[in-house]
Amino acid sequence: MVAATVPGARTTTTSVIGVDLGGTNLLAGAVGPDLGVHHRVRRQAFGLDQPTLMATIVDAVQEAATAAGADVAAVGLGIPVTLDRRSGEAVYSTHLPIAGMPFAAVMSERLGLPVAVDNDGNCAVLAEARHGAAQGAEDVVMLTLGTGIGGGLVLGGRVQRGWIGAGAEFGHMVIDMDGPPCQGNCPNHGCLEVMASGSALVREAALRVGRRPDTPLGHALEEGRALTGPLVTELAHDGDPVACDAMEAIGRALGVGLASIVNMLNPEVIVIGGGVIAAGEMLLAPARREMQARALMPARGAVRIVPAAFGDEAGMIGAALLAREEA
C-alpha cells in the first residue's frame, strides 16, 4: 500500500471512491461507510496508452464523485501492478502501461484528493476477509479470475505482500511447465493465469468450437457475436456442450493450482472472484474435485473454496476500504 495525502477534512459519514482497474475494464464506485455502493462507473481500459489510461481513471473518479455529492473524502485504487512499497512506484505491470511512475502521487495531484493505492488482488482479499465470504477467517487466499489472475493473501489477519510488495502472485504459479506461454510480460509457461483465467476460457472455447461448430456457441459466432468470456459463461449456463467443456477445463486447471496453494499455505478459506466467477459452481465444482484429488490431508479436508461475496466488485470495495483506512 502506498498513500499520498493532500490536506482535507473527513468524517465517517462521507463517501470514498473505490477504483478497480483490471486489464480490460475499469470499475469505479462511490462507497458509503456501510459499504453500500451508490454510483458505479464503468470504462474500458484495454489497449490504452499511458496518457489516455490516466485520463480515463481521472474521468471515471470524477463522474463517481460528482454523483456522490460534495462529500468525497479520498480515493482508493486497486491496480494490477507490482508497487514497490519503498518508493511508491509502480514498478511492473503485466497488462497496463503504468510501470515506472509514482502512481499514487500523480493521481492525488490530478484528483485533488488523498489517494491510496494497492495491488488489485490485495484490495480484493481485504474486502472479502474483512466483510465478505471469508469474514472471521485469519488465513485467506483470494484469486481474482479476469483477463489475468490476481492474487491476494491474508495470513494472521494481515494482508501479506512480500518483502517489496511483489508477493502473492498466485496467477503466476506454474501448473504445466510445458504449457502455453504466459500473458503480457511474464516470461513463464503454463502459469495458472494462462490456464484458468477468462482469457483461458475463451481460448479453450475457441479450440473446441472449431471442432464442433454445430452447437449453440458455434451458431452464436456464425451470427457475428464475439467470442468472449461472458458469452461462454452464458451459454454454459444454458447447457451448451462446448461452453460446458471449456468451463470444466479451466475449473480443473484452477483446482491444480488450488492444491498447491492448500499444501503451501493451509488457508482456512480460498475466495474466488473476478468476472469468471459469474460461472459459479460450474467453475468451482471441478476446481474443488481436482484440489481434493491432489492436495494433502489434513489441509485439503479443512479448506473452504467459496465465491466472492462481493462478486466482481471485491476489488472496488477493497480499494474503498483502503481509502477509508489509509489515504
What span, in angstroms and rounded, lies between the C-alpha atoms of 299 and 217? Answer: 39
The beta strand positions in the chain, using DSSP E, are: 2-4, 15-21, 25-31, 37-44, 72-79, 82-84, 89-92, 115-119, 140-145, 149-155, 158-159, 269-273, 304-307
Identify whether the C-beta of residue 287 lies closer than 8 Å to the C-beta of residue 276.
no
The smaller minimum CB distance to Zn ion, of residues 15 and 82, is found at: 82
The smaller minimum CB distance to Zn ion, of residues 165 and 307, is found at: 165
SS3 139: coil
Least distance to Zn ion, CB of residue 268, Å: 27
The smaller minimum CB distance to Zn ion, of residues 256 and 278, is found at: 256
Candidates 186-194, 211-219, 260-268, 290-298: pick the segment binding Zn ion (CB under 5 A). 186-194
Residue 189: how many CB atoms within 10 A of its CB? 14
Q: Tally DSSP H helices, then E strands, for the chain.
A: 11, 13
The CA angle 108-112-116, to the nearest 5 degrees, is: 35
The smaller minimum CB distance to Zn ion, of residues 161 and 172, is found at: 172
Candidates 83-91, 103-111, 191-199, 244-252: pick the segment binding Zn ion (CB under 5 A). 191-199
The smaller minimum CB distance to Zn ion, of residues 101 and 186, is found at: 186
Q: What are phi and psi of 31, to 5 degrees?
A: -115, 125
What span, in angstroms and rounded, lies between the C-alpha atoms of 224 and 166? Answer: 41
Least distance to Zn ion, CB of residue 254, Å: 15
Query: Per rule CB under 5 A, is residue 81 in the interface with Zn ion?
Result: no
Least distance to Zn ion, CB of residue 272, Å: 18
The smaller minimum CB distance to Zn ion, of residues 191 and 231, is found at: 191
Least distance to Zn ion, CB of residue 297, Å: 29
Identify whether the C-beta of residue 74 lies closer than 8 Å to the C-beta of residue 116.
yes
Cα dihedral: 15, 85, 163, 22 (round 10): 60
What span, in angstroms and rounded, lies between the C-alpha atoms of 115 and 121? Answer: 18
The smaller minimum CB distance to Zn ion, of residues 186 and 282, is found at: 186
Question: How does DSSP assign 215-281, residue by residue?
Answer: SHHHHHHHTT----HHHHHHHHHTT-HHHHHHHHHHHHHHHHHHHHHHHHH--SEEEEESGGGGGTH
The smaller minimum CB distance to Zn ion, of residues 67 and 186, is found at: 186
Query: Per rule CB under 5 A, is residue 203 in the interface with Zn ion?
Result: no
Q: Which of 56, 160, 188, 292 binds Zn ion (CB under 5 A)?
A: 188
Tell me how many residues contact Zn ion (CB under 5 A). Answer: 5
What span, in angstroms and rounded, lies between the C-alpha atoms of 52 and 46? Answer: 11
Q: Which of 72, 90, 107, 191 binds Zn ion (CB under 5 A)?
A: 191
Least distance to Zn ion, CB of residue 67, Å: 37
Least distance to Zn ion, CB of residue 92, Å: 12
Least distance to Zn ion, CB of residue 199, Å: 12
Identify whether the C-beta of residue 52 lies closer than 8 Å to the C-beta of residue 23.
no
Query: Per rule CB under 5 A, is residue 186 in the interface with Zn ion?
Result: yes
Instruction: State the binding string over 166-185 for Zn ion (x if CB under 5 A, else -).
Output: ------x---------x---
The smaller minimum CB distance to Zn ion, of residues 124 and 175, is found at: 175
Candidates 106-114, 165-173, 211-219, 277-285: pick the segment binding Zn ion (CB under 5 A). 165-173
**Which residue reads 479448506 in cell numbers?**
303
Least distance to Zn ion, CB of residue 81, Å: 15
Residues that bind Zn ion (CB under 5 A): 172, 182, 186, 188, 191
